Amino acid sequence: MVKENEVPGRLEWRVNMPNGSSRILAPESRETCSRLQSLVMGIVLNIKGFLDKAWNLAVNEPKKVVHCLKVGLALSLVSVFYYMRPLYDGVGGNAMWAVMTVVVVFEYTVGSTLYKCVNRAIGTCLAGSLGIGVHWVASQAGDKFEPVILQVSVFLLAAAATFSRFIPTIKARFDYGAMIFILTFSLVSVSGYRVDKLVELAHERVSTIAIGASICIFITMILCPVWAGTELHHLISNNLEKLADSLEGYAAENFSVDGSKNVHEKDSSKRLQGYKCVLNSKAAEESMANFARWEPAHGKFNFRHPWKQYLKIGASMRSCAYCIETLHGGINSNTETPEFLKKPLNDVCMRLGTSSSKVLKEMSSMIKTMKKSTKLDILVDEMNSSVEGLQNSLKIFPSYQHIPTPDPATEETPNGTEEPSLKPTALSLMEIVQMATLTSLLVEIASRIEGIVEEVKELASQAEFRDESSKKSKQTQTEINGNDGNEHEVTVKTLQQV
Amino acid sequence: MVKENEVPGRLEWRVNMPNGSSRILAPESRETCSRLQSLVMGIVLNIKGFLDKAWNLAVNEPKKVVHCLKVGLALSLVSVFYYMRPLYDGVGGNAMWAVMTVVVVFEYTVGSTLYKCVNRAIGTCLAGSLGIGVHWVASQAGDKFEPVILQVSVFLLAAAATFSRFIPTIKARFDYGAMIFILTFSLVSVSGYRVDKLVELAHERVSTIAIGASICIFITMILCPVWAGTELHHLISNNLEKLADSLEGYAAENFSVDGSKNVHEKDSSKRLQGYKCVLNSKAAEESMANFARWEPAHGKFNFRHPWKQYLKIGASMRSCAYCIETLHGGINSNTETPEFLKKPLNDVCMRLGTSSSKVLKEMSSMIKTMKKSTKLDILVDEMNSSVEGLQNSLKIFPSYQHIPTPDPATEETPNGTEEPSLKPTALSLMEIVQMATLTSLLVEIASRIEGIVEEVKELASQAEFRDESSKKSKQTQTEINGNDGNEHEVTVKTLQQV
């Protein structure tokens, strides 16, 4: 048996001894060494993985990196108040409040920064004046009752303000303000007991907060501003597109006759999963809509842009996504549908899937461009006629099916495979069930898409979307009117041109 | 024509004049008056409505009122440090930090309070020591470079810490800590430029924060504690029950033969809508699970209770809820199913709906009591056999239906209405489609419920749920073994007894 450390060509573990010689490491120490090494390697790999992820995040969302730099800049600016003596003497030692305001108030979107600034201002002023008032009342009551009155008022107002944070309407708009109210009121009424120069203190605090808040607002609105409203707008429009992709992908995967399946596997599965984003975006939508209403007019949006309508669109989109989820869940079910049964309905299902996804895409581009679409109604009509087509073919479909038989004695029709020898056979409900579910889910999805269409139209009228340039719409109209028999193709062509 | 102010029995609007007489108000002033009155009434009504809502909130969730009182108490306690001179002299003028800590850190659940306390402590210590270090380095570099080094370090560290808040793993656990890090580091490195007694300052700040935090932790854990873990536990168990109710209610409304429809309309519609809570509870579940892991052992939960498993149960519950939503959406669809087609399948559908909802209820009570259930497997088997029963009856169902004909010439069978005169008629797919969708959705729901069962079993093994008392389980087992032929009824009976 060859000993381990005698294997030729094998690297040896040697350590340098204090006397200058070197020694081969014994197996035990080697084990400890390798364990240590693997531990260190593990930590290094972990850190590397973490840094890789962070790097990817930074590369994929440069906006977030810009935000970080903006925070750094705001803090550097505010600390100038400490370094420059004249300013320092002006705002006094309370410049700390300016630093604190910047750290606490500076948020990712303009809307949330404004929300916090306004809340902080209102909360501070309200609580400050109330605190001074209570303090005055307490000071009139004599030394004995002063601490009692102050304590009781702190207890009652803190409890009341905390309770108000549980009320949904206040929570949505003034949660932060209520917290600042409690903070300021406690500080004022409590410190008033000692300091006795409350008004001066309040003035100093308000001015430093104003400095911090204005630096935040200035930087957040001037340097690469991230508007909550714009983000919400893009989110909704992207989600519509993702829904369309999911639906189109599903149709291509299940009903296509040609080689549409040969698209990139990974890419298509990612597109198929798009509806999941819609399922999970409720919280994001709500917080963005909440912040968006604090934002001034920007880009294409007025101050009173109907942000709430986006939430309605989001809700109807989710209701549609539930159906799509059920549809996708059905793919993995092991109820077998005989191929011969699927074939005849494939065409109508494919058409419905495609036309539904076109409606979704049109709405997405309508929101993206903020232009009213003349094509939307046409596409909805097309979708509805696809639904009717599907329902009609279901109606004319008898539930006993002509299935091809391998009987060699039957006559061959000239169409070859199109019309092979047929023989009526009764189907059990079991064999029909999957196809039936699929079709009725598609119909349900189409009807829920109509719900989205209504909400989007409501948005278009509330936000006064511009009309599409009259030239283009006229062109489309003429083409359609002139080609009644070929309406579907023309619409598609127009779509591709525009 | 009778003048308005002459109408008999009509109340007159009179105002008292300065000379003692009174005058009937002219229509214009009356209008102004009534407009003012309606404005005031509107405001009063608004305030009344708001107060009513707040009162209802308080009555329905007394825990929240208790929380408010706890906040008041904590603030009163902390302000004692201002009023009692010996303590005041000990912690100095920095007692403000204790008040601030209480206001900012005191949250509704124990978990979130602990999360904030720990984050505040870590953030403050880390940033404080780093700040002092940077300040020392800067002071060695000479007067010229000192502000530059401090500015650059604030800029870089603030940007880096802000970026870290975008990384999901850090955001989930240390979001607040990162903010406190930025705050403390800026304050220390900036104020260090002036104050020059940094270590003392840091010591004071840390001790006041410790006082505030320990008051918060003490009050939140001793007085009626609200544990995030317990809340999550109840949420999941209640949601399972709501799903069960929705499913049961749907089955009762659509498949019941007897008068189950006669239950309270309002009550039943509320129960039917229960699944919507499940659809919308993702964010709540995640934040609770996030806070729950900060909590020490409490009640029936260990420190390392598998809170993450609850999220998995929640996810599989939502996937089931999507299906139920689609099912409920189908109720309102106007595709008509002929009654004669529905009837034969009603029994099997009813049985499947009831057995599925029983499985959900059993899981709910299993989680509630934290005991392993011997009945769960039996109920799952029952549900699966209902699925098989449904599939079998679909298989034997031919798709041409024997429908009763009003032909008077046909023979009457002895069973009367049970077997009326029948005539085979081919159905179009259209007529089958709704029933088929319904059944396959029910089957899909059953298969998704099995997914929930697996997750719940995983939870039971991870959290080491106790076995049900051996006596009871033995009793059930014997009854089942002794009555093989009548297994179903016995199980139901045992269920009702236990």
A100 and chain B: CB distance < 8 Å anywhere? yes
pLDDT at A14: 56
* B63 or A10: which leads in pLDDT: B63
* B101 or A24: which leads in pLDDT: B101
| pLDDT single digits (tens) A449-462 | 999 999 999 998 88
Label residue A421 exposed, middle or buried (CB < 10 Å: 0-12, 13-18, 19+): middle
Residues A211-222 as b/e (b if ≥16 CB within 10 A, e otherwise) read bbbebbbebbee
Q: A10-19, A378-387, A437-446, B11-20: which has the highest mean pLDDT?
A: A378-387
| pLDDT single digits (tens) A175-202 | 999 999 999 888 887 776 555 667 777 7
Which alpha helices (H) appear in B223-338, and where do they start and end?
Answer: 228-255, 265-272, 274-279, 282-292, 307-331
B408 — pLDDT class (breaks 50, 70, 90): very low
Question: CA B237 to CA B240: how far, in whole Å?
Answer: 5
Question: CA B428 to CA B422: how far, in whole Å?
Answer: 18
B55 and chain A: CB distance < 8 Å anywhere? no
Beta bridge partners of A424: A402
A479 — pLDDT class (breaks 50, 70, 90): very low
pLDDT at A30: 67
pLDDT at A313: 93
| pLDDT single digits (tens) B471-490 | 444 444 444 444 443 434 33
pLDDT at A415: 43
How is chain A split among helix, strand and coil, in percent rounded to 5?
Answer: 75, 5, 20
Give the residue-averaged pLDDT of A80-107. Answer: 72
In Å, how far is B68's CA from the nearest CA of chain A? Answer: 4
A104 and chain B: CB distance < 8 Å anywhere? yes
pLDDT at B480: 44
Taking each helix axis from N to C terminus, what angle separates B375-396 and B429-462, rounded to the nearest 10 degrees?
A: 160
pLDDT at B119: 92
Question: CA B495 to CA B497: how far, in whole Å?
Answer: 5
pLDDT value at B90 more than 80:
no
Contacts of A52-56 spanning 24+ positions with Cβ under 8 A = A53/B167, A54/B163, A54/B164, A54/B167
Q: What residues of A are in contact with residue B399 (Cβ under 8 Å)?
A: 399-400, 426-429, 432
Q: What residues of A are in contact with residue B391 (Cβ under 8 Å)?
A: 430
B149 and chain A: CB distance < 8 Å anywhere? no
Label residue A274 exposed, middle or buried (CB < 10 Å: 0-12, 13-18, 19+): buried
Query: Which of A186, A194, A427 comes nearest B75 by C-beta?
Result: A186
pLDDT value at B261 more than 80:
no
pLDDT at A108: 92
B176 — pLDDT class (breaks 50, 70, 90): very high
In Å, how far is A27's CA from the nearest CA of chain B? Answer: 38
A1 — pLDDT class (breaks 50, 70, 90): very low
Q: How many CA atoms lie within 13 A of B57 on its CB side?
A: 17
Q: Locate the DSSP E strands across B282-409.
A: 400-404
Beta bridge partners of B16: B22
pLDDT value at A257 more than 70:
no
B323 and chain A: CB distance < 8 Å anywhere? yes
DSSP calls for A247-260: HHHHHHHHH--SGG
* B432 or A98: which leads in pLDDT: A98
Give the residue-averaged pLDDT of B104-133. Answer: 90
Residues 6+ apart with CB under 8 A from B123: B174, B176, B177, B178, B179, B180, B181, B183, B184
B191 and chain A: CB distance < 8 Å anywhere? yes
Give the residue-averaged pLDDT of B10-22. Answer: 58
Range in A256-265, A354-363, A464-473 with the lowest mean pLDDT: A256-265
B394 and chain A: CB distance < 8 Å anywhere? yes
Question: CA B383 to CA B360: how far, in whole Å?
Answer: 11
β-pair type (A14-16, A22-24): antiparallel
Q: Which of B455, B449, B24 is nearest to B248 (CA)?
A: B449
Whether the CB-CB separation of A172 and A65 falls below 8 Å is answered with: no
Whether the CB-CB separation of B21 and B32 falls below 8 Å is answered with: no
Taking each helix axis from N to C terminus, what angle separates A198-222 and A110-140, rounded to the nearest 10 degrees?
A: 180
Q: Of all helices (H) and strands (E), which one includes residue B51?
A: helix B27-60
Label residue B86 exposed, middle or buried (CB < 10 Å: 0-12, 13-18, 19+): exposed
| pLDDT single digits (tens) A136-170 | 888 888 778 888 888 888 899 999 999 999 988 88
What is the residue type of B79? S
* Token output for B463: 């959290």
pLDDT at A98: 83
| pLDDT single digits (tens) B338-372 | 666 667 778 888 888 899 999 999 999 999 988 88
Whether the CB-CB separation of B33 and B13 falls below 8 Å is answered with: yes
DSSP calls for A106-135: --SSHHHHHHHHHHHHHHHHHHHHHHHHHH
pLDDT value at B52 more than 70:
yes
What CA–CA distances, in Å, run from B370 to B315, B367, B464, B465, B467?
A: 20, 5, 9, 5, 9
Q: What residues of B are in contact with residue A400 (Cβ under 8 Å)?
A: 399-400, 426
B7 — pLDDT class (breaks 50, 70, 90): very low
Most B CBs within 10 A among A103, A285, A441, hence the mutation to make, goes to A103
First to last CA, chain B: 80
Query: Which of A73, A391, A427 comes nearest B430 by C-beta?
Result: A391
Q: Do B187 and A99 touch (CB under 8 A)?
A: yes
Residues 6+ apart with CB under 8 A from B472: B374, B498
